Amino acid sequence: MSEELSFTLDGRRVPFQDGQTIMTAALAAGFYIPHLCFNPEFTPHGSCRVCLVKINGRMQASCTTPAAAGQTVLSEIEEVREMRRGILQMLFVEGNHVCPACEKSGACQLQAVAYYAGMLAPHYTHFYPRRPVDASHPDALIDFNRCILCELCVRASRDVDGKNVFAVQGRGIKAHLVVNTPSGKLGATDFNITDKAAQVCPTGTILRKHSGYEIPIGQRLYDRKPINVVGDVAALAVSKGGRRHD
Amino acid sequence: MSTLETAAQSDTLCRVAIDPLSRVEGHGKVTLLVDRDHRIRQARLHIVEFRGFEKFIQGRPYWELPVVVQRLCGICPVSHHLAAAKAVDQLLGIEQIPPTAEKIRRLMHYGQTLQSHAVHFFHLASPDFLFDFDDKVAHRNVVGVMADHPDIARQGVKLRKYGQEVIRCTAGKRVHGTGAIPGGVNKSLSLRERNDLLTDIDLMAQWARNIVKLMKIAYQANPAYFIHFATIRTNYLSLTRADGALDLYHGGLRAKNEQGALLFDHLDYRRYAQVLREQVKPWSYMKFPFINSLGPDKGWYRVGPLARIDNCDFIATPLAEEERKEFMALGNGEPIHVTLAYHWARMIELLHAIEAIKELLLDPDIFGDELVAKGEMAPREGIGVIEAPRGTLFHHYRMNEDGLIEKANLIVSTTNNNQAMNESIRQVAERYLDGKELTEPLLNQIEVAVRAYDPCLSCATHALGQMPLYVELVEEESGTLVDCLVRDTDGTVRNEASALAAGN
């Protein structure tokens, strides 16, 4: 019987199988690496960079880097944490993330990851972009102010729902989420609130209408325990038997 | 109205500013224009901050309103939370929410009234009664109260804490919770929460009775001063229950004139725009509301604890009713116009809030599980009105077919008292300051007059595009004004550093 493949994550041994990334192996072993654009049900994207870890001395995204035997992976060291905080701070100032009044607050993956990473303030100057809300759909609302361009809704709508409702348009700082209709309005699409694309947003961008704040403070997903203990929407999906959509 | 609102020739007068006003919520200042003989020629209360909530909630979904708009204030957010929730109920066409929801909302509101009144009296206003006007500034504050009257200070802190606990149990957080949602609430009370709150309720009532007694002693110690200081004869506006009882959560609009005769009564508050108007003056960010039928010169009115006690026929809780009767006896059948009596009326309400909390805690409906009434979204207007700690609070919204807010109008409690506060400081200026060389203790009397109203200045500044807007560029180290951009009432923009000096 051959010896089990493994690498170390912050000094702890993590077994893996061929084809797994550092992220998937770590999550499977019960170790949390913060992430936003990663969702085990979808092909890794590597765009948010929040899952940066130091692998054999080099900074790399753990969601896209294949696990290899003998790797030394460092995640919870100050050098990595500082970079993560910087990335999160830039995400917060690039959009309009008003956590105190947001209905996703307490159950928001972005907010929970920021808490986990020790981000106490946005630090950078806010961009304050003007992004009108799209409430044209009877059951769903898109608040573009909170979009971090993780493209999970794009992937879910394309790969699972087969609808291609969403896309990212523009490049660099001008990149933004759009709805694939001539009017650009969600109400003009065949989007349904039960679609996969409606379930995967890690922020408060795609929301079910008329139901905000229904869960009392104290009972929301991250009110009592942090995200590394509770897990995120993606991890919860896997634990409930969610499958990967390649 | 006083003649001291605008001086005839302001360019020859000396300007004295009380900036900032101390021991009030928010930022404001008072300016006095004085001639060479120390005669007061102009006195104005200015609100110097700008919020703009009416504008930036446009385009937001209706269900956000109660949570977003409450951020107007850190002292009375529950009042904004509930006024917005009542308006949102109407946006959905909901006429009646479940009994559990209404009682939880009421409990939240009485907790709010208790904590806000306690903050104002003990933390902000009590030095005005416990120390002399010429007491040292460094001592004339809550720290001085803690040093000289530790029992009173401790009771103030614990009364406020109790009110905050009631809010936490009903809204999820002590400040800026999420309890009220469209059509109801998101939680009822647990048995444990109820029992914890009941533990101290009788002690709170005892302390409240003591503090009402303290106000009576303060009055009896110097009735002449108490009766005349900053006192003005005004109209009064408040909500009252259908049977005329004091009701802080819901009711019809009642207005009385200075003799106590009814101007209107049991008016559905959704018709407020038919009886109230707002005037804009170029020197303040705060509007000046008035009763339409009387016009801006005679139609201004007062709201808040004094107005509510003056307007109601009775209080439905026994201890507060006993105190109300004693209080009203001073008026000889007329409303009480004494401005300093605001404090006394406020403490009667604090006692009432505690009694009302106890009644609700003993009501089994607060454990119910029917929390929300469902409605249907349609383009509508919704108007929520509530008696906030500082007075009648109006939230008016219009929603489009997608559920987004198109227009908002907020008449905040303090705004209703704008003209009255200005008149009170003018009365004090004329009576106590006129012809005298101005000293800090004399100027302190102006602040005492404003403080009686418990103004929340941060709540009250929302009009956008109607008043002149000044943008100042100030050198960081020296504080020197480098430049000033002015947008006038007609929308024209000019660059004028000197405009600041002339505009006070």
* Predicted complex ipTM: 0.92
Domain boundary among the residues B373, B397, B415 is at B373
Instruction: Provide the residue range defining the domain that includes B365.
Output: 95-223+339-373
H-helix or E-strand containing B322? helix B318-328
Of the pLDDT bands very low, low, confident and very high (cuts 50, 70, 90), residue B495 is confident
Distance CA(B357)–CA(A124), nearest Å, equals: 45
B201-221 and B341-361 helices cross at what angle (nearest 10)? Answer: 170
Contacts A136 to B, Cβ<8 Å: 402
Both tokens of A212, joined, read 């905000």
Q: What is the pLDDT of residues B367-384, one digit of tens each?
A: 999 999 999 999 999 999
The count of domains in chain A is 1
With 60 as the cut, is the pLDDT of residue B315 above it? yes
Give residue B365's identity as a one-letter amino acid code.
D
Residue whose token pair is 């490049």: A171
Between the CA atoms of B108, B114, B119 and B125, what dihedral angle is there, to the nearest 10 degrees? 150
Q: Do B475 and B368 reside in the same domain of the chain?
A: no
With 50 as the cut, is the pLDDT of residue A244 above it? no
> Which residues are bridge partners to B288 per DSSP?
B279
Distance CA(B144)–CA(B134), nearest Å, equals: 14
Interfacial residues of B (vs A; Cβ cutoff 8 Å): 59-61, 63-64, 66-68, 71, 171-173, 176-179, 181-182, 186-187, 377, 402-404
Is the distance from CB of B110 to CB of B357 less than 8 angstroms? Answer: yes
Is the distance from CB of B29 to CB of B44 less than 8 angstroms? Answer: no
Q: Do B346 and B474 reside in the same domain of the chain?
A: no
The whole-number pLDDT of residue B472 equals 66
With 60 as the cut, is the pLDDT of residue B462 above it? no
B71–A217 C-beta distance less than 8 A: no
Q: In this structure, is residue B79 part of a structural domain? A: no
CA A238 from centre of chain: 14
Q: In this structure, is residue A193 part of a structural domain? A: yes
Q: In this structure, is residue A233 part of a structural domain? A: no
Q: Nearest-CA distance from B63 to chain A in Å? A: 6
Is the distance from CB of A185 to CB of A133 less than 8 angstroms? Answer: no
Cis bond before residue B20 (omega within 30° of 0): yes
Is the distance from CB of A50 to CB of A62 less than 8 angstroms? Answer: no
> Which residues are bridge partners to B15 per DSSP?
B33
What value does the mean pLDDT take over residues B241-252?
98
A135–B403 C-beta distance less than 8 A: yes
Q: In this structure, is residue B201 part of a structural domain? A: yes
Residue in A101, A132, A211 nearest the CB of B67: A101
Q: Do B214 and B344 reside in the same domain of the chain?
A: yes
Judge whether A101 is closer than 8 Å to chain B, CB to CB: yes
Q: What is the mean pLDDT of chain B?
A: 91
B187–A141 C-beta distance less than 8 A: no
The whole-number pLDDT of residue B301 equals 98
Closest CA to B294 of B266, B320, B323, B258: B258
Of the pLDDT bands very low, low, confident and very high (cuts 50, 70, 90), residue B460 is low
Give residue B396's identity as a one-letter amino acid code.
H
Residue in B63, B377, B404 nearest the CB of A133: B404
What value does the mean pLDDT take over residues B16-20?
86
Concatenated DSSP letters of B328-346: HGGGTTSPP--TTHHHHHH
Judge whether A212 is closer than 8 Å to chain B, CB to CB: yes
| B10 burial via Cβ count (<10 Å: 0-12, 13-18, 19+) | middle
Give the chain B residue nearest A216 (alpha carbons).
B186
Q: Nearest-CA distance from B68 to chain A in Å? A: 5
pTM, full prediction? 0.91
Q: In this structure, is residue A11 part of a structural domain? A: no
Contacts A100 to B, Cβ<8 Å: 71, 176
The whole-number pLDDT of residue A1 equals 46
The whole-number pLDDT of residue A151 equals 97
Closest CA to B418 of B292, B284, B293: B284
Count CB-CB contacts under 10 A for residue A18. Answer: 8
Distance CA(B409)–CA(B451), nearest Å, equals: 26
Give the chain B residue nearest A139 (alpha carbons).
B402
| B373 burial via Cβ count (<10 Å: 0-12, 13-18, 19+) | middle
Contacts A214 to B, Cβ<8 Å: 181, 186
The whole-number pLDDT of residue A235 equals 60
Q: In this structure, is residue A79 part of a structural domain? A: no
Residue in A103, A187, A215 nearest the CB of B64: A103
With 70 as the cut, is the pLDDT of residue B16 above it? yes
Q: Nearest-CA distance from A205 to chain B in Å? A: 13
Closest CA to A39 of A204, A199, A206: A199
Q: Which residues contact B298 (CB under 8 A, 6 or more apart)?
A: none
Give residue A48's identity as a one-letter amino acid code.
C
**Residues of A (109-168) whose Cβ lies below 8 Å from B:** 132-133, 135-136, 141
What value does the mean pLDDT take over residues A142-166?
97
What value does the mean pLDDT take over residues B413-442?
90
Q: Is A216 left (phi over 0), alpha (psi -120 to 50) or beta?
A: beta
The whole-number pLDDT of residue B504 equals 45
Closest CA to B398 of B413, B410, B412, B414: B410
A136–B177 C-beta distance less than 8 A: no
Q: In this structure, is residue B447 part of a structural domain? A: no
CA R_g for chain B: 22
A103–B186 C-beta distance less than 8 A: no
Give SS3 for B457: coil
A135–B178 C-beta distance less than 8 A: no
> Which residues are bridge partners to B254 per DSSP?
B238
Judge whether A103 is closer than 8 Å to chain B, CB to CB: yes
H-helix or E-strand containing B159? helix B150-171
B61–A218 C-beta distance less than 8 A: no
A211–B63 C-beta distance less than 8 A: yes
Distance CA(B105)–CA(B180), nearest Å, equals: 7
Both tokens of A41, joined, read 């049900």
Q: Nearest-CA distance from B181 to chain A in Å? A: 7
Distance CA(A224)–CA(A217), nearest Å, equals: 10
Express as a percent the part of chain B with pLDDT over 70. Answer: 92
A213–B186 C-beta distance less than 8 A: yes
H helices of B172-281, where? 191-199, 201-221, 223-228, 272-275
Residue whose token pair is 């200070």: B153
Q: Nearest-CA distance from B227 to chain A in Å? A: 44
Distance CA(A98)–CA(B459), nearest Å, equals: 19
Q: In this structure, is residue A246 part of a structural domain? A: no
Q: What is the pLDDT of residues A213-228, one digit of tens each?
A: 999 999 999 999 999 9
B61–A213 C-beta distance less than 8 A: no
Q: Do B499 and B358 reside in the same domain of the chain?
A: no
Q: In this structure, is residue A136 part of a structural domain? A: yes
Distance CA(B46)–CA(A174), nearest Å, equals: 43
What value does the mean pLDDT take over residues A22-27?
96
Q: β-strands B301-302, B469-474: how paired?
A: unpaired
Q: In this predicted structure, which of A169-173, A210-214, B133-137, B343-347 has the lowest mean pLDDT?
A: B133-137
Longest Cα–Cα distance in chain A: 61
Distance CA(A58)–CA(A46), nearest Å, equals: 16
Q: In this structure, is residue A62 part of a structural domain? A: no
Give residue B382's identity as a one-letter amino acid code.
G
Instruction: Provide the residue range defining the domain that includes A176.
Output: 130-213
Q: In this structure, is residue A146 part of a structural domain? A: yes
B178–A218 C-beta distance less than 8 A: no
The count of domains in chain B is 2
Domain boundary among the residues B347, B373, B399 is at B373
Residue in A136, A210, A216 nearest the CB of B178: A216
The whole-number pLDDT of residue A192 equals 97
Distance CA(B64)–CA(B381), nearest Å, equals: 16
The whole-number pLDDT of residue B465 equals 47
A209–B403 C-beta distance less than 8 A: yes
Domain boundary among the residues B351, B373, B395 is at B373
Q: What is the pLDDT of residues B464-481, one digit of tens each?
A: 445 555 666 667 677 677
Is the distance from CB of B3 to CB of B429 less than 8 angstroms? Answer: no
Q: What is the CATH number of the domain that holds A205?
A: 3.30.70.20
Q: In this structure, is residue B46 part of a structural domain? A: no
B171–A210 C-beta distance less than 8 A: no
Q: Do B345 and B210 reside in the same domain of the chain?
A: yes
Q: Nearest-CA distance from B420 to chain A in Å? A: 34
Give SS3 for B411: strand
The whole-number pLDDT of residue B2 equals 83
With 90 as the cut, is the pLDDT of residue B9 above it? no
The whole-number pLDDT of residue B473 equals 67
CA R_g for chain A: 18
The whole-number pLDDT of residue B468 equals 55
B186–A216 C-beta distance less than 8 A: yes
A216–B179 C-beta distance less than 8 A: yes
First-last CA distance in chain A = 31
| Dihedral over Cα of B138, B140, B145, B149: its sign | positive
Q: In this predicted structure, which of A30-44, A76-90, B274-288 has the lowest mean pLDDT?
A: B274-288
What value does the mean pLDDT take over residues A61-87?
97
Give the chain A residue nearest B91 (alpha carbons).
A210
Of the pLDDT bands very low, low, confident and very high (cuts 50, 70, 90), residue B21 is confident
Is the distance from CB of B201 to CB of B358 less than 8 angstroms? Answer: yes
Give the chain A residue nearest B180 (alpha carbons).
A213
With 70 as the cut, is the pLDDT of residue B499 above it? no
Distance CA(A219)–CA(A197), nearest Å, equals: 25
Is the distance from CB of B478 to CB of B490 less than 8 angstroms? Answer: no
The whole-number pLDDT of residue A220 equals 95
Q: In this structure, is residue B188 part of a structural domain? A: yes
The whole-number pLDDT of residue B47 equals 77
Q: In this predicted structure, which of A52-56, B38-42, B384-388 has the lowest mean pLDDT?
A: B38-42
Q: What is the CATH number of the domain that holds B191?
A: 1.10.645.10
Contacts A133 to B, Cβ<8 Å: 59-61, 404
Distance CA(B332)–CA(B105), nearest Å, equals: 36
Q: In this structure, is residue B323 part of a structural domain? A: no
